[in-house]
């Protein structure tokens, strides 16, 4: 894969900061320094989790969104690998594979000579390239019997995650989306707002649950589409925390009942978390602790097949905080998943 950059021992040495009397996560994770065949190389390793990044915001630009989601991987990996390694987590079962990079493609999309119309059209076409890479990686990881954890990029990558999982398992899969937006927009060319609708209409996605939808962000037409589609269920942030018509724990149970009866993916959009720098940052949303509880509960389910954390758009000023949050979510998922119901 020409867009895959392996995370090698040289990357590790420059990232992990050792300290006497302490052991960091990065000192125990596994790496692939030379790749022959993705599926065979991953299958041969004694690991349960494969972490990789998607360094792109092409899909976000294609959806008229704010650039910056390509920075999430770098912000996260520097914090994650310097997390303390202790009895709470077996780091030896984790492979840090690397990241998908689209530097050249991003240069084309961000060319200042392009009109907005041409920029969006180009970005939507290039998003299809990202789709192919993500779906192939996820397919290979799941086929090898491992669990992928995908970090960064726009929510366009939900499509590749769902497609790759579906192809590996040879059946449609379910998905739960912790998100302020439904991302079930029309098929108007690929972008970050229609990953789930494309996956659904192509037969890769079966049941879909949107957790924490913001009522201010959904058009009446889209709301009617969600209500008319029997395999889609949702709740709203307002019903949960403004009007308090529903309880968080009860709604988690309802969501699990909708998606957890067969293989499903966990999607976490950082724009659902209050004040987290993202492509659509919100001043009103779930707390970081609620996001962690969500990931923990879903990760415990026996049919959970992957975790995707997306849409974070850190700046130089706040990248450490973003990296810490995403690292918490990754580790929460691994802890829960490793001890999930059998």
For residue range 160-217, what is the model confidence (pLDDT) as tens digits? 999 999 999 999 999 999 999 999 999 999 999 999 999 999 999 999 999 999 999 9
Contact 245, 286 (CB under 8 A): no
Count CA within 13 A, CB hemisphere, residue 15. Answer: 23
pLDDT score of 340 more than 90? no
Instruction: Identify how many contiguous H helices and E strands the chain contains and give both numbers.
Output: 13, 9
pLDDT digits (tens, 9 = 90+) for 282-321: 999 999 999 999 999 999 999 999 999 999 999 999 999 9
Three-state DSSP class for 209? Answer: strand
Which ranges constitute the DSSP H helices of the chain? 9-15, 38-44, 58-61, 72-80, 103-109, 116-143, 157-169, 195-201, 220-228, 237, 248-259, 288-299, 319-338
pTM above 0.95, yes or no: yes
pLDDT at 242 over 90: yes
As a whole number of angstroms, the distance between CA 54 and CA 221 comes to 31
Q: What is d(CA 184, CA 195) in angstroms, rounded to the nearest whole number? A: 7
> How many Cβ atoms sit within 10 Å of the Cβ of residue 116?
9
Starting at the earlier edge strand, list the strands of the sheet with 304-310. Answer: 4-6, 94-101, 49-55, 147-151, 304-310, 264-269, 173-178, 205-213, 232-236
pLDDT in tens, 80-115: 999 999 999 999 999 999 999 999 999 999 999 999
Q: How many domains does the chain have?
A: 1
Domain that holds residue 235: 4-338
Residues 253-272 pLDDT 10s: 999 999 999 999 999 999 99
Contact 171, 207 (CB under 8 A): no
Q: Residue 240: which CATH number?
A: 3.40.800.10
Q: Is-contact 297 257, C-beta < 8 A?
A: no
User: CB-based burial of residue 62 (10 Å sphere; 0-12 exposed, 13-18 middle, 19+ buried)?
Assistant: buried
pLDDT tens track for 116-144 = 999 999 999 999 999 999 999 999 999 99
């Amino acid at each position: 894969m020409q867009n895959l950059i392996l995370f090698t021992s040289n990357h590790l040495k420059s990232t992990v900061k050792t300290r006497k009397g302490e052991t960091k996560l990065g000192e125990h994770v596994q790496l692939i320094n030379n790749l022959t065949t993705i599926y065979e190389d991953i299958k041969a390793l004694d690991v349960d989790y494969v972490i990789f990044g998607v360094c792109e915001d092409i899909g976000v630009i294609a959806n008229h969104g704010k650039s910056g989601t390509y920075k999430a991987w770098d912000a996260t990996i520097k914090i994650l690998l310097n997390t303390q390694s202790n009895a709470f987590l077996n780091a030896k079962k984790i492979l840090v594979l690397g990241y998908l990079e689209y530097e050249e493609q991003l240069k084309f999309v961000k060319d200042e000579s392009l009109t907005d119309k041409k920029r969006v059209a180009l970005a939507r076409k290039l998003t299809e390239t990202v789709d192919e890479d993500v779906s192939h990686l996820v397919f290979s990881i799941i086929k090898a019997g491992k669990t992928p954890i995908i970090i960064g990029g726009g929510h366009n990558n939900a499509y590749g995650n769902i497609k790759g999982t579906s192809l590996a398992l040879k059946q449609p899969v379910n998905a739960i989306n912790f998100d302020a937006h439904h991302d079930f927009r029309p098929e108007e060319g690929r972008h970050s707002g229609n990953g789930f609708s494309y996956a659904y209409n192509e037969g890769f996605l079966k049941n879909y649950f949107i957790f924490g939808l913001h009522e201010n962000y959904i058009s009446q037409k889209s709301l009617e589409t969600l209500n008319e589609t029997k395999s889609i269920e949702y709740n709203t942030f307002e019903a949960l925390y403004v009007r308090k018509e529903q309880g968080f724990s009860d709604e988690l149970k309802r969501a699990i009942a909708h998606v957890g009866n067969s293989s499903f993916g966990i999607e976490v959009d950082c724009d659902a978390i209050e004040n987290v720098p993202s492509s659509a940052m919100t001043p009103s949303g779930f707390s970081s602790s609620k996001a962690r509880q969500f990931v923990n509960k879903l990760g415990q389910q026996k049919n959970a097949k992957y975790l995707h954390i997306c849409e974070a758009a850190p700046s130089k000023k706040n990248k450490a905080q973003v990296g810490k949050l995403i690292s918490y979510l990754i580790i929460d998922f691994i802890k829960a998943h490793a001890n999930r119901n059998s």
